A and B are shown apart, each in its own frame.
Chain A
């Protein structure tokens, strides 16, 4: 049946709540309203206000409170209303949620999911469109998952809720209303594995979250230019699936990483470094990155100029030294 990503996420929460009494869902406006994106729609009504409830408007409090519940047998799933509104919870995530298991030598695990609608492309005003993944992936102890498909949204969220470790679950909000023919419940590949979304032999596009549809579209468009591109959807940023990425790039010999976030010190930088370390002798060209610019997320009227689109991806693919021409762009500006 035709299902949106929002419906898949809602179903995942509903099924998890139904199957396991220790699961609780809470956050801002997740009760009667069903969340500003309606991801928790009907959960409080159907499963009870003790299973899905509103909290005071305080993100650090929400995550700290969830940690306390997780210490005492519950599996909280909390919603941060928007990416940029999750920052007040950063200390709780970094200093406590991520460290509790390690701090206690494994005695106190804190299974919990922190859902964050992230990234832009929805015409949101300031503070509603950040790509905040780099902050989380840099924190040992957190798992970081980001679905790009409807089926993955359901399956990965279900798995995140049963995971023994805290999971930051980044939902590409632009794709909440993306549809697919999916029968729920569905089980896809587990957390920690990437998926090849499109087979191709000439170059590998590595993407995640909101950049996956862009990469796939670019790969289709590239056919006209004579390029057969492979697209890898990372799905999980931590733990990282080196195996799938490495296998693909060793085969194609070329790699472009596509992300919506600002490029500097981002996930794409990590991917590029890892590919270079593992695939150096298979590479015919430097690993290139396509990303948003290193600017604060722009106002909605001009966000399209920031967001990496098909053209930016194809322009970058064109720079992969197809005829042994050096990449001019990165030679400019370098002192002689």
Chain B
């Protein structure tokens, strides 16, 4: 028995993919989250960002401007729920570095696979804000053109869009295109099977995908400690042979730096990349949620002290590239953006119920054509009824 076992060991390498220890060490994230800025926006020790390079100042200024607009948009969207103009809104207040950093790390030809919490990223990508809010207003499931914007519909079932990103990126690569797909997942979403299956497919097929895990500490009410026993969510990658990194998700310089690195590595054919961004959901899960039932104000205050917008503003001001005038201009632009959105959202959406049958299939089935006629009759009857009331 011993001889046979010994023989077997000699014939077969200890692991399928080579020396596991060495391979793993190349994939593992930094021991602590990468950061360039301290909590107040001062410059952090160089050791905190290792070999990562700071993005160009011009890009950081662009990030700043879009973050100011993004935050104002977020506040406006929350206000719209109170006015009954949105059915629901999941805020990304506090996650602006990830929302904007992800967009700026991508080229226009790259794809994003967002969740419902990425409305800010959508508008940062240039998607019309009314179209971005269509899902949450409730007039359709997706208001923008995913192909024209290279942005998949916002995904509600958690992490289930991850394998789509992998398939799309793999398809692009097969055609010789250098497209990268970036998929957004939350800390809760990393527990879903589809996240793991997507990581595995991405690893096996070397798909140019960046998995951005915004670890905002809560899956609705469930804290991270109940979500995983892993040392960090970035350690999810090594088991799938995927390079991983963890980053201070409230440090816009670090987020942009790490994501740019990850995206370009994927583009260069080095395979997928997993980035965990440590951040915090300042608001409740949505306007319908009561966060006081599961977390303390003190915790929220502590994270508010690491506010990504304040940190970037302080850093760029200290660097001398951002003046009070620039700050004022950015805020003015944000106000104007919010004002236009408010006005446009005051219009009731015009949804033709007959359109419900149009795109179930490329051509409506005989049954759907029949049911459409029934609805048309109901609509006509409704019109007659309301006409009668007015007389």
Interface residues of A (CB under 8 A from B): 50, 55-56, 58, 60-61, 63-74, 76, 88, 91-92, 95-96, 99-109, 140-141, 143, 164-165, 192, 238-240, 242-243
A58 & B147 in contact (Cβ 8 Å cutoff): no
A68-B155 Cα distance, complex, nearest whole Å: 13
A105 touches B359 (CB 8 A): yes
> Could you say which residues of chain A place their CB within 8 Å of the CB of B181?
68
Chain A min CB distance to B211 (Å): 14
Set of chain B residues within 8 Å of A69, measured between Cβ atoms: 167-168, 170-171
Question: Most chain-A CB neighbours within 10 Å: which of B167, B181, B366, B367?
Answer: B167
CB distance from B99 to the nearest CB of A (A): 22
Query: How does the 8 Å CB contact mask read for B156-174 relative to A, with 1 for contact and 0 for none?
Result: 0100111111111111101
Complex CA distance for A106 and B171, rounded to whole angstroms: 21
Least Cβ–Cβ distance between B170 and chain A, in angstroms: 7
Do A92 and B359 touch (CB < 8 A)? no
A61-B171 in contact (CB<8A): no
Given A141-B360, A239-B365, is A67 in contact with B200 using a C-beta cutoff of 8 Å? no
Chain B residue with Cβ nearest A59? B197
A242 contacts B172, CB within 8 Å?
Answer: no
- Flag whether B145 is at the interface (Cβ < 8 A): yes
Q: Measuring CB to CB, which residues of chain B are less than 8 angstroms from any residue of chain A? A: 140-142, 145-147, 152-153, 157, 160-172, 174-175, 181, 193-194, 197-198, 200-201, 204, 355, 358-362, 365-367
Contact B201 A61 (CB under 8 A): yes
Let me know if A92 and B160 touch, CB within 8 A: yes
Q: When the two chains form the complex, which single residue of A64, A99, A107 contacts B162, counting CB atoms closer than 8 Å?
A: A64
Cβ-neighbour of B193 out of A56, A60, A164, A242 (below 8 A): A60
**Which applies to chain B's interface (DSSP): helix, strand, loop or mixed?**
helix
Chain A minimum-CB-distance residue to B200: A56
Chain A CB within 10 A, most for which of B153, B169, B171, B366: B171
State in angstroms the CA–CA spacing of A68 and B142 once bound together. 17
**Complex-state Cα separation, A18 to B365, whole angstroms:** 30
Find chain A residues with CB under 8 A from B152 CB: 71
Task: Give the docked Cα–Cα distance between A56 and B172 (Å).
Answer: 20
Smallest Cβ-Cβ distance to A65: which chain B residue:
B167
How close is B345's CB to chain A, nearest CB, in angstroms?
20
Query: Do A56 and B175 touch across chains, with their CB atoms under 8 A apart?
Result: no
Which residues on the B side are within 8 Å of A72 (C-beta)? 167-168, 171-172
Q: Is the CB of A68 within 8 A of B362?
A: no
Are A102 and B163 in contact, with the CB atoms below 8 A? Answer: no
Counting residue pairs across A and B whose Cβ atoms lie within 8 Å, the total is 135
- Distance of A60 Cα from B195 Cα, bound (Å): 10
Q: Which residue of B lies closest to A101 (CB)?
A: B359
CA of A11 to CA of B204, assembled, Å: 29
Q: For residue A164, which residues in chain B have a CB less than 8 angstroms away from its CB?
A: 362
When the two chains form the complex, which single residue of A58, A67, A104 contacts B197, counting CB atoms closer than 8 Å? A58
Q: When chains A and B are docked, how far (Å) is the Cα of A74 from the Cα of B146?
A: 17
Q: Give the distance to chain A from B352, nearest Cβ to Cβ, in Å.
A: 11
- Contact of A108 (CB < 8 Å), options: B147, B165, B171: B147
Check A107/B164 contact, CB under 8 A, given A55-B201, A102-B141.
no
- State whether A71 touches B366 (Cβ < 8 A): no
A242 smallest CB distance to B (angstroms): 7
**Is the beta-carbon distance between A91 and B160 smaller than 8 angstroms?**
yes
Task: Indicate if the CB atoms of B147 and A68 lie closer than 8 Å.
Answer: no
**A95 CB contacts on chain B under 8 angstroms:** 157, 160
B359 touches A67 (CB 8 A): no
Query: Could you say which residues of chain B place their CB within 8 Å of the CB of A61?
Result: 163, 194, 197-198, 200-201
Q: Known A56-B200, A73-B175; judge A104-B146 contact (CB<8 A).
A: yes
Give the docked Cα–Cα distance between A63 and B162 (Å).
12
Question: Which residue of B141, B197, B360, B366 is within 8 Å of A64 (Cβ)?
Answer: B197
Beyond known contacts A96-B160, A101-B361: 4 more, CB 8 A cutoff: A64-B167, A67-B167, A69-B167, A109-B362
**What are 17 A-B contacts with C-beta separation under 8 Å?**
A61-B198, A65-B201, A68-B164, A71-B164, A72-B171, A95-B157, A95-B160, A96-B164, A100-B153, A102-B141, A103-B142, A104-B145, A106-B362, A107-B147, A141-B360, A165-B361, A165-B362
Residues on B with beta carbons closer than 8 Å to the beta carbon of A140: 360
In the assembled complex, the CB of B111 is this many whole angstroms from the nearest CB of chain A, namely 8
Find out whether the CB atom of A104 lies under 8 angstroms from the CB atom of B142.
yes
User: Contact: B174 with A68, CB < 8 Å?
Assistant: no
Whole-angstrom distance between the Cβ of B249 and the nearest chain A Cβ? 26
Chain B residues near A96 (CB-CB < 8 A): 160-161, 164
* Chain A residues in 8 Å Cβ range of B168: 68-69, 71-72
